[in-house]
Structure 1
Amino acid sequence: MTISSSPKLTKGGIVLIDPETAQVQRVIALQYNAESLKRELKSQESGGDAGADRAEPTRFKGPAVETISFEADLDATDQLEFPDQNAAAVAYGIAPQIALLESLSQPSSAQLGKVNSQASSGTLEIAPMLAPLLLLVWGAGRVIPVKLTSFSVTEEAFDPALNPIHAKASLSLRVLTVDDLGFASKGGSLFMTYLQNREQLAAKAQPASLSTLGVTGV
């Protein structure tokens, strides 16, 4: 028996849950973890504008607006080395994985058909089509409710049937907070846990003294 000393790799991914029941609908694991994750936070402040002549002390009116973006690599090379075990990759390359990510950005054909049927039957008010709630899972400490704001894919290599076999997918996400989801919802609870985890991490940072900054008091 061979014992490997390498740690088990945790994959990042996206989980789709029912926004009303919080039941897991689908789990999407990234084939390869992104090499970088760009996060941008913009504070929500009440009071004066950034371009005003006089600045006011910071008064938060809600959680920061956080955006997350990353690139995901998709590749069928490994599967194509073992065609007998990977019939779907042989037949379609990575087209199914691309289509799955694309589906996060638009309603399903069934939803569109239902709306059309309602319109044809004379329904006066048609409710917008509710999408699943997305959770970005990046390790156990980061389970974050998000909204997909943009998706793009660059298909870079193809098989003889023009199925894509290598591609880069770019995803931009906006973190959904209790302002967006409410405290009582599953998504709101997950955001609060995410925020508390960040606060606990901040508390673990090595404290510095004023002397480190070259001053004895303020």
Structure 2
Amino acid sequence: MTTDPLRPATGVIVFQYNPETLTRTLTARTAGDQSGSGPARFAGIAEQALKLAVELDATDQLERGDPLARAVGIAPALARLELLVQPAAATVIANEAMLRAGVVEILPAEAPLTVLVWGAQRVLPVRVTEFSVTEDAFDTALNPVRAKVDLGLKVVSHPDVPLLSEAGALSMAAHVGREVLAGLGG
């Protein structure tokens, strides 16, 4: 799920199939003396990276006679995913216009908040760090009808963003949820 007022149609991306695997890598954020002579200290919530593969296939839609799938295959789903790593065209055009008008400092486009919902227990604000598409099959007009998208994600947490921001609040809720889950088992 993303929030981008310039592209409201890209707000929710539902995976056609649940990815078979999700790889998580946690790296402790530590502070202070790393020589081992003093106590280990945490500087914040661990950095977390995720990797997953999303499979898209228009076979079922094509068999049902879906007009959108017949016209463009899975291109709309691929486009929604691709927009996670690109600024809105309106922002690019506006920045170019400001540049040509002599504006001295132009801020890079802010990425929309992207939230990965992996079940009720894992709702995580993320940034896409890697994006690779393998298109496996095409229709007669060369529209992709089957593809695999490999995604690398960085979970956004405090201190990446302010704790009271939307992303910070989601991150802290996920962190508290992990602590609750850890307390359930024996």
TM-score tier, shorter chain, comes to: over 0.9
- Higher Cα Rg, which structure: 1
Paired residue secondary structure (2:124):
strand
TM-score, reference length from structure 2? 0.92
Q: Is 2:85 the counterpart of 1:109?
A: no
Counterpart residue identity of residue 19, structure 2: A
Q: Distance in 2 between matches of 1:162 and 1:58?
A: 56
Shift of 1:18: 5.2
Q: Distance in 2 between matches of 1:99 and 1:149?
A: 17
Aligned residues between the structures: 184
Asked if the contact 1:141–1:197 (Cα under 8 Å) also holds between the matched residues in 2, the reply is yes
Paired residue secondary structure (2:12):
strand
TM-score, reference length from structure 1? 0.79
Q: Distance in 2 between matches of 1:17 and 1:194?
A: 19
Q: Is 2:68 the counterpart of 1:88?
A: yes
Asked if the contact 1:16–1:24 (Cα under 8 Å) also holds between the matched residues in 2, the reply is no
| 5+ long unaligned stretches in structure 2 | none
- 2:162 corresponds in structure 1 to 182
| Identity over aligned pairs, percent | 44
Greater RCO, 1 or 2 (C-alpha within 8 Å, sep 6+): 2
Shift of 1:58: 1.7
Q: Distance in 2 between matches of 1:157 and 1:58?
A: 52
| 5+ long unaligned stretches in structure 1 | 1-14, 207-218
Q: Is 2:143 the counterpart of 1:163?
A: yes
Asked if the contact 1:71–1:171 (Cα under 8 Å) also holds between the matched residues in 2, the reply is yes
- Please identify runs of 4+ aligned residues in structure 1 that moved more than 6 A: none
Asked if the contact 1:45–1:59 (Cα under 8 Å) also holds between the matched residues in 2, the reply is yes
Write out per-residue CA displacement over residues 16-58 of structure 1, whole angstroms, 9 at most, x where no aligned residue: 1259xxx997111111110111111000112344xx5x56432
Asked if the contact 2:28–2:45 (Cα under 8 Å) also holds between the matched residues in 1, the reply is yes
CA RMSD, aligned part only? 1.9
Change beyond 3 A, Cα 1:80–1:55 = farther
Match of 1:35 among 5, 8, 20: 20
